[in-house]
Structure 1
Amino acid sequence: MKKRALACLLLISIGLQPIASILATEAETSTVSSEEKMTEETIERPLDTMTQELLESVPTSEEEVNNAETPTETTDSIDEPEAPIDIEPPAPTPETLSAPRAVTTVLWGQTKCTIVEEGDYYPDYTIYVRAGGGNYAGSVDSAPWKWYFDKYQSRTKRIIFDGSAGKIHLSGDKGRLFSQCSSLEYVDLSGADTSNTENMAWMFQNCTRLKSINFSGVKTREVTSMQGMFENCNSISYIDVSNFDTRNVTNMERMFLSCHNLDSLNLTNFTTNEVTNMKHMFNGCERINNLNFSNFDVSKVTDMSHMFENCISLSNISFGYSCNTSNVENMSYMFYSCAKLSNLNLNCFDTSKVTNMSYMFSKCYAIKNLSINKFDTSRVTDMEGMFENCNGLQNISLDKFNTSRVTNMNTMFYGCKSLYNLNLDNFNTSRVTDMSSMISRCDNLSHLDLSNFDTSKVKSMKNMLSNNPKLESIDLSSFDTSEVTEMGGMFGYNPKLESIDLSSFDTSKVTEMGGMFSYCINLKSLDLSNFNTNEVRSMLSMFSGCNQLRKLILGEQTKLQQCGIETPTIIGTLFTGKWTTIGNGTIEKPRGDWSGTPYDLIVRSQEGIADTYVWETRYLSVVFDGNGGQNVPSPIKAYKGDQIELSTVRIPTPPSDNYLFNGWSTILDDPSTIIESFVMPNKSLVVLYANWKMKMHINSVPDNIIFKNNVMPNEYYSQIISVNPKSYSSKNNFETKWRGDHNWKLTVTMAEWCNPDDNTDTLTGVQMFMNNQLTHQDGAPAPSTIHSNQQVVLNAGETQTLVTTTAGNSADGTGNWQSTIDFDSVKLKIPRYGGREGSYYTSQLTWSLDDTI
């Protein structure tokens, strides 16, 4: 009894933490002083030796255990206590801070577990497992660290299997042995015998603070399941599994799932020839950058889904050349979010039995080239998100892909931002039902030919071809959309698309068209005449942002709802801001008989009226100003760029009989701006002015100027003869009278002198002389006069100007005018040798009033 009391005193003397419970002692031990027993030898003994002495006081034989009906002073009762009542702990005092720590011993099967409390009011625990009455541990659920109501499960930091008295046998099913020990930091299994352990599934699951495990001497030959063994051990950076014997393991699903801080794994000794499930095996191992599977035999594995998911630091995976995946059926999410994986050699993969490849390479941002030509996809039914967000992928060859059984291609190429070409000519899509977001956010695709697609079973095309900023053309000529119910956002946010041929579309079952063409900012025209929208429940924002959509063709069944159709852009004075029917006109020059707001267009479509709608171009007007004239023609309505011909425009009535219509001028009374035609400018109003000129006519001219008869030829000298005065009773016959407008001239021309009876008999070299006198009768200031009161010389065939207005001076020349020839000044000069004897000769003077000066 004294020995046991001494052990208690020794535990106190070396400064252990305050005691929660200690091994009970007999009454007489209270009389034993610590000084009597505190020898140099006992002070220097290690803690483990002292703890062993405590454990020796616990009944060891099976008989002692069976006979222990009531608690003795040797040990506390090992009955599980009732759940403690949470009480706010008192503030620490010097007395409590110096209190000894508690040690509790409990049985676990044939072993003894010493639970050492460490800390103050929220203590942690270290548990030592040693041989007791035997070496065989109890069931998983009876392990003391699984006692939640004693808070051992949430507060145990260390569990040490002490094999000094014999290794602890962990036989049979030890799955979940340490799971949910959320404070556990260290496990030492070097003192455990696991040679007969069959199940280690979930063994350390959710040990979120676990930092180290000692597997020295651990044998795993009989283990068949390591499923979830280290799941969520997200604090551990190294696990030594180099000595693991996994020859009988069949399940490694989730084995290292969410081991976020795990730096590396040595799997070279792993034997996996019996494993059938590797699903989620390394999912979430965010710090591992290299994995070597060259020794892996995966010939029996059927599920590799999520195997490397979220291995975001993984840059290299070595599969070697012997990997046999011939029995794998599921590879979905296999490399999902392997963000740094730049090279992936999968030539050894046999995918002949795989049915699910959904999200297989999704978010593999660093991969530029993916060679999967050897993939046998003949049994694959799900390719959803297979290459989703592979935004570094530049080349991919899919010409050998067999997609005849695929039903789901949702987001298959979503976010492939570096792909410049996508050849899907060999794709068999006859069973596909979901193509939503299939080719979306492919930033560098400019052309897509989907003319070979069989879409007869597709039900969803939501966002199928949206958000492709460089896409200029799409060939959808073979599309059968008779089963489609969702088209929302199908073409949205494709800013370079100018037109889409939707003539093959059958929309009779579509219920969702919201955002279908939204923000296709360069879309110029849409033919929806074959659209049946009777089942559509939402068109919200269908055309929002399509501010260049200038032509919209609707059929009888194309009944629009609230669809975000844009108000036509008002550019200067070109458009009115309304829609109109095109009629027999063109998109630039519509001739329809209806116009209205976007709301009016929607209402009209709901009446089942098939029509073609375009932006209403503002009419430009040509207005005519008669400038004093009457019966002015009506204004002409025209469009910018129209050719306006004025030759067909009605001529107005002149202001008086003295005026003639001179044409239409752009400036009032400026004949230099007269035009016959013009191209209509972008001006809301063009004004043309009638330009008038006074009638210019000669009232009288000198007539029958008769010179002397019987002129004798002279071979030596020229002769000058005068007018025969006997031929005239008045000199008024020599007056020229006329009426003219500004800008005119009066000219006279003398013809050749010839014998009227013989055209060959001419009198050459004749000159006529006269003096011209301008007499102002009425009208504007007198115009300039040439040769006024001066001699005018006329040669045969020559024209001389007698009177003219001043060019550019519109004040000159308007009125009635008279010019008189001085009778006595009229002379005729006949050259020598002129004429034949016995002949007579005549000529003609022509007076002309011309408005060209």
Structure 2
Amino acid sequence: MKKRVVMTIAGIMGGTFTSSAVALAQTKTSVEERGPVQESTISIPDSEILAEEKEVAATIESTTTTSTIKTTSDSLEKALEATTSETSSTESGSASQSSASQHRKEIETEETSLKAQTTSTVLTGMIGTSQWSLDPTSGELTIGPGVFSDDVSSAFDSISNVKKVTFSGPVKAGKSLKSLFSSWFALLSIERLDYLDTSQVTDMSYMFTNCTGLQTLDVSNFDTSQVTNMSMMFYNCRGLQTLDVSNFETSQVTDMSYMFDACSGLQTLDVSNFETSQVTDMSSMFDACSGLQTLDVSNFDTSQVTNMRGMFFLCTGLQTLDVSNFDTSQVTDMNNMFAGCKALQTLDLSNFNTNQVTDMAGMFSSCDKIQTVNVSNFDTSQVTNMRGMFSHCWELQALDVTKFDTSKVTDMSDMFYGCKELQTLDVTKFDTSQVTNMSSMFYGCSGLQTLDVSNFDTSQVTSMGGMFIGCRGLQTLDVSNFDTSQVINMSSMFADCRGLQTLDITNFDTSQVTNMSNMFDGCSGLQTLDVSKFDTSKVTGMIYMFRDCSGLQTLDVTKFNTSQVTYMWNMFSGCSGLQTLDLSNFDTSQVTNTDEMFDNCDALKKITLGAKSIFGTKTNTNLPSIADTSLYTGRWIGVNTSNTYSDSNTFMSNYDGSVPDTYVWEKASVLNSTLDPSSVRVHSESEVEWTWKITNSSSKSAENVYSDITLPEGLKIDKNSVKKNNLPVSVDDINGMNNLGTLSSNETVTFTFKTIVSGKPDKWLELMGKVTWEDNGIRTVNSSNKVKIIDEEQKDKGNQTNDLELLSVPVGFRYGILNKSNTPQTIHLNARNYQTHTNVVTDGFYTRLRDDRTKDNGWKLTAQLSDFSDETNSTVLTNSGIALKMENMKIESIKNRDTPQESIDQNPTGTPSTVSTNETLISGQAAKTLINAQANEGHGTWQLRIPFDKVSLTVPANTGEINKNYTATLTWSLDDTP
């Protein structure tokens, strides 16, 4: 007979719940109860910025002009389009510009009316004693020898379509050659101009004006020693690529205005020897010489010059310009002086004397590449016009205007327009008491972080349209003291000031305002905006007024008088945070367009309408549909009248003012459904009890309620276990067959029922519950929950309530029958003892715990093996020396515990610093520490994995009695201190 001893080791968790280890036993663990885990929150910052200007710029009304412009050149027209603002004319464009405008009209008329001569008869005539003849076929004009009369301005009025001029002999000019070849657009060449003696000429103005076809012109032999007027001499000779005026004697010249204006084809121009000591007018002298890359005016004597308006206007190719020696002490007009010099990077104006200057409008406009310009010493005491002075200086990074005397300035519109790189701008000392126009003054200054205009005197201002448009960097702006009693235009005033958090305009006097379109368009940062005192009795335009003010939740427009308003499209579009609007005082009788008025106002759930506040019957307001159908029926209902509209579109389209009321989203009956199992982790073939609660959380009853359970494979319902509010009911009550009737407000129905679980370990089984009821259609709410079939070789703690506790331990280690021996023997677990639970053979055992305490104070996991005893405890093998050895153990961090997404974290943090990979427990001896987590370690869920083939039992010789079963208890303990 064989000597056999049955050895079994059971595991328990000390003091907490019965569970596993080396056999069937109970484990104790004594831990303190901890508070709940505190969840952390993550705030996601907004991401950045530069959006399109949308339509805002289109609504800015302007009553002034940037500069005077005159041209017939296609290329110049395009340049003008690229560098000037859309405006209408004012006094800033002086009389000197009106002549250019008149010339433009004459040019256009001449260009469109030119016709070729059809007769073959040679035309002849006289200029003084010089005879001329024109061959109409070839277009060649021959000028014979002689003496010109003093006035030749109308000498060739009777002829046209001249293509070539030839001097056949010496000609002595009189006192004036003004307009000699003016506006000969077809003229391609002038030959033997050296025959022309100009020694007596005093006036050469307009001489070659608008000779646009000339490719070359030799004036190198001109004697200009007596000339006093060269105004517009080469105006619009845009075909010329070279022009030699280096030998011109200009000591008597007083007027050089427009001399080379619109000579856009010139690549070089040598005026370095010009003697300009007598010149008084240099306005537009090099205007639109866009082909020039260099221009040497360093020796110019400008001591007598009074007008430099547009002098270098649209010299777009100039990369350098030395005006450091300019004497500007007599200059009164610098309007557009450097405007459009897009390539200039530096400009030294340190010696400029501006004490006589009255007009600086557009002076540096569109100097795209200039990063700094020193105007700190400018004397602006006489200046009345600063319109667009620094407009479109895109790259300007520093600007000191602190010493500007603006006491006489009336126009500051567009002054800093587009200075997007400026981060600071000190205008605190500006005297604006005479200013009438501030439209677009800071338009596009997106880099400014602060702007102090609190001391601005705006008592004379009539236009503030676009004043701060695009100042996206500003978070605060104090305009609380603005006197707006004279203001007519406030369109786009604060448009795209998306950084503003607050804006105090409560004291604005808007009694004269006619345009408020785009006024707050894009002010998405504003949380509040008080316009309750606005007088809108004269306003005709409110389009885009509050568009994209997404931060506003309330907006009081109850006192708005809209009887004169004709356009309201997109007025509130994009106000996604706005929840209520009282429009009961709106009179839309004059309004013709309300397109997209409420577009993207997704939160707008309360609208008060009056008898005259009719919107959707005119155009589509795009009032959003009610998206939250879980809480609302999709209908609009009158609070006082119960008048309903089936949807938002019908509401706007059909409201005709006959039933004024406050209309709100109609609330729906809302049912909540929860489905909970008695345990999430269950053994196969065990029973799970489910609790299904259906609650009406709304103030409205739910009618014709049905509940329907969907069982997965692996769950079978016990039909006799179904109860409703603790009373037995038919299973048809939860399978969608029985009508549960009406569920009143705050009423709860509780179903309980049992299911039998079957399946393989680690499988999740999902039970789903569907509730339907009637409320303006069929409404549905779904709920579900899952249970997991757990390993039969693991014992879970049933009531998991502590934030530090053991969750699961091995059920036991079964070693089977052992032959009694005279020598020590070591036995391992055998797979044949686990044939019904083979997963443990491959996956091994584990002891799982959690630490969800708010403070990571650390913890300690220990294990202790008791003495072995027989079934009746009559025989206890004390001091037997039996040893349980566990090898290759490892610790694992668990993510998403007890969910279908549960997994082992491959990159855990806070891993306990001490983990025993191999440990031997001697029966009857003290517990040993397997894991030791210090402070700030071991937070979360962890488990000690024990490989199946690495759990062995060593039994000393002659241990135990034959035919007895011996069992020991393995106690797992979790202490709340390391």
The correspondence of residues 91-490 of structure 1 with structure 2, limited to 5 A, is: 107=171, 109=173, 135-137=199-201, 139-140=203-204, 143=207, 145=208, 148=211, 154-162=213-221, 167-321=223-377, 323-490=378-545
Residue-by-residue CA offset, 1:369-423 (whole Å, 9 max, x unaligned): 1101110000101000000111112111111111111110101111111111112
Match of 2:625 in 1: 568
Cα pair distance change 1:200/1:569, threshold 3 Å: same
Structure 2 contact 342–369 (Cα < 8 Å) conserved:
yes
Aligned to 2:144: 77
Write the distance in 2 (CA, Å) between the matches of 1:141 and 1:403. 45
1:252 Cα deviation (Å)?
0.9
Shift of 1:70: 10
**Letter paired with 1:140:** M
1:668 to 729, 736, 740: 729
Closer, same or farther: CA 351–203 of 1 in aligned 2, 3 Å:
same
Task: After superposition, give the CA deviation of every residue in 1:623-679 in whole Å (9 maximum; x if it has no partner).
Answer: xxxxxxxxxxxxxx996444999xxxxxxxxxxxxxxxx985687259x99999745
Q: CA deviation at 1:470?
A: 2.6
Secondary structure in 1 matching 2:486:
coil
* Greater radius of gyration (CA): 1
C-alpha distance in structure 2 between counterparts of 1:70 and 1:353, whole Å? 57
SS in structure 2 opposite 1:291? coil
Instruction: Check the 8 A contact 1:111/1:132 in 2, yes or no.
Output: no
Q: Say whether the 8 Å CA contact 1:451–1:478 is kept in structure 2.
A: yes
Partner residue, 1:685: 773
Q: Which whole-Å CA distance do the structure 2 matches of 1:450 and 1:226 have between them?
A: 46
- Alpha-carbon shift at residue 328 of structure 1 (Å): 0.8
Is 2:639 aligned against 1:582?
yes
Q: Counterparts of 1:411-810 in structure 2 under 5 Å?
A: 411-561=466-616, 562-566=619-623, 568-583=625-640, 592=642, 594-602=644-652, 605-619=655-669, 640-642=697-699, 668=729, 678=747, 684-685=772-773
Q: Deviations over 1:6-29 (max 9, x none)?
A: xxxxxxxxxxxxxxxxxxxxxxxx
Q: Is the 8 A contact 2:671 2:698 kept in 1?
A: no
Shift of residue 275 of structure 1?
Answer: 1.4
| Separation in structure 2 between the aligned mates of residue 361 and residue 290 of structure 1, nearest angstrom | 18
> What CA distance in whole angstroms lies between the structure 1 residues aligned with 2:664 and 2:210?
78
Alignment of 1:47-58 (within 5 A): none
Are the equivalent residues in 1 in contact too, given 2:264–2:288 (CA < 8 A)? yes
Q: Is the 8 A contact 1:312 1:339 kept in 2?
A: yes
Give CA deviations for 1:762-807 in whole Å, capped at 9, x if unaligned. xxxxxxxxxxxxxxxxxxxxxxxxxxxxxxxxxxxxxxxxxxxxxx
**Is the Cα–Cα contact under 8 Å of residues 601 and 624 in structure 2 kept in the other structure?**
no
Q: Which moved more, 1:487-496 or 1:399-408?
A: 487-496
Taking a change above 3 Å as real, the CA distance of residues 349 and 76 of structure 1, as seen in their structure-2 partners, is closer
Letter of the structure 1 residue corresponding to residue 216 of structure 2? K
- TM-score norm. by structure 2 comes to 0.52
- The question of whether the paired residues in 1 share the 8 Å contact of 2:635 and 2:644 is answered with no
- Three-state SS of the structure 2 residue aligned to 1:168 is coil
Which residue of structure 1 lines up, in the alignment, with residue 182 of structure 2?
A: none
Q: Is the 8 A contact 2:261 2:288 kept in 1?
A: yes
The worse-fitting range, judged by mean Cα deviation, of 562-571 and 531-540 is 562-571
Distance 1:559 1:350 in 2: 51
Q: Which amino acid aligns with 2:436?
A: T
Is the partner of 1:601 in helix, strand or coil?
helix
Preserved CA contact (<8 Å) 1:445 1:470: yes
Q: Does the CA-based 8 Å contact 2:291-2:317 persist in structure 1?
A: yes
Amino acid at match of 2:246: S
With over 3 angstroms needed to count, the CA separation of the structure-2 counterparts of 1:258 and 1:68, relative to structure 1, is closer
The alignment partner of 2:218 has SS state of strand
- The TM-score with structure 1 as length reference comes to 0.59
Post-superposition Cα deviations, 1:167-204, rounded to whole Å, max 9, x if no partner, equal 53251221011112122233333322211111101000
Relative to structure 1, is the Cα distance of residues 442 and 108 closer, same or farther in structure 2, using a 3 angstrom cutoff?
Answer: farther
Structure 1: unaligned runs, 5 residues or longer:
1-64, 88-100, 114-121, 585-591, 623-636, 646-661, 688-853
Distance 2:231 2:255 in 1: 5
C-alpha spacing 1:374/1:469, structure 2 compared with 1 (3 Å) = same
Do the aligned residues in 2 keep the contact of 1:234 with 1:261 (CA within 8 Å)?
Answer: yes
1:274-309 deviations in Å (ceiling 9; x for gaps): 211111111110111112222112122111111111
Q: What's the C-alpha RMSD, in Å, of the aligned pairs? A: 4.0
- The residue type equivalent to 1:574 in the other structure is L
Query: What secondary structure is seen at the aligned counterpart in 2 of 1:685?
Result: strand
Number of aligned residues? 554
- In the TM superposition, what whole-angstrom CA distance separates every residue of 1:595-650 from its partner, at most 9, and x where no partner exists? 4333543466423322111122334699xxxxxxxxxxxxxx996444999xxxxx
Tell me the distance in 2 between the aligned counterparts of 1:382 and 1:147.
37
CA contact (8 A) 1:644 1:680 kept: no
**Consecutive unaligned residues in structure 2, runs of 5 or more:** 1-126, 134-141, 147-154, 178-185, 673-693, 703-722, 735-739, 751-769, 780-978
Secondary structure at 1:452 match in 2:
coil
8 Å Cα contact 1:129-1:161 kept in structure 2: no
Amino acid at match of 1:406: V
Cα drift, residue 572 of structure 1: 4.8
Change (3 A) 1:667 1:85: farther
Residues 446 and 470 in structure 1, CA contact (< 8 A), matched pair in contact too: yes
Whole-angstrom CA distance in 2 between matches of 1:567 and 1:123:
66
What is the one-letter code of the residue matched to 2:173?
A: G
Q: Taking structure 1 as reference, are residues 272 and 341 closer, same or farther at Cα in structure 2, changes over 3 Å only? A: same
Q: 8 Å contact 1:106–1:112 — kept in the other structure? A: no
Q: Deviations over 1:109-149 (max 9, x none)?
A: 27999xxxxxxxx9975878669666234743685x5595x
Q: 1:563 offset after TM fit, Å?
A: 4.4
